[in-house]
Amino acid sequence: MGRWRRLGSGLARGVVGAVVVLLLLVVGGLALLQTGWAKDQLRGLIVRQANNYLTATLSIGSLSGSLFRH
């Protein structure tokens, strides 16, 4: 039983470590989205994608404020 307990313990630590790393990446990504650079990238993506489907030309001056709140 000792061998299985050690294996389970190591597996549990690995899963917890992976979850922590994943959460850090998500939080870092969300924080990055609040930067001016990321907002400019998002604005450019929206304009490019919209112009593929519109008969007119879409232009967005800037994105400001939080992308997560109204």
Residues recorded for the chain = 70
- Which pLDDT tens digit goes with each residue over 12-34? 899 999 999 999 999 998 888 88
Mean pLDDT of the chain: 87
Q: SS3 for 68? A: coil
Task: Provide the whole-model pTM.
Answer: 0.58
Rounded CA-CA distance 38/43 in Å is: 8
Rounded CA-CA distance 20/14 in Å is: 10
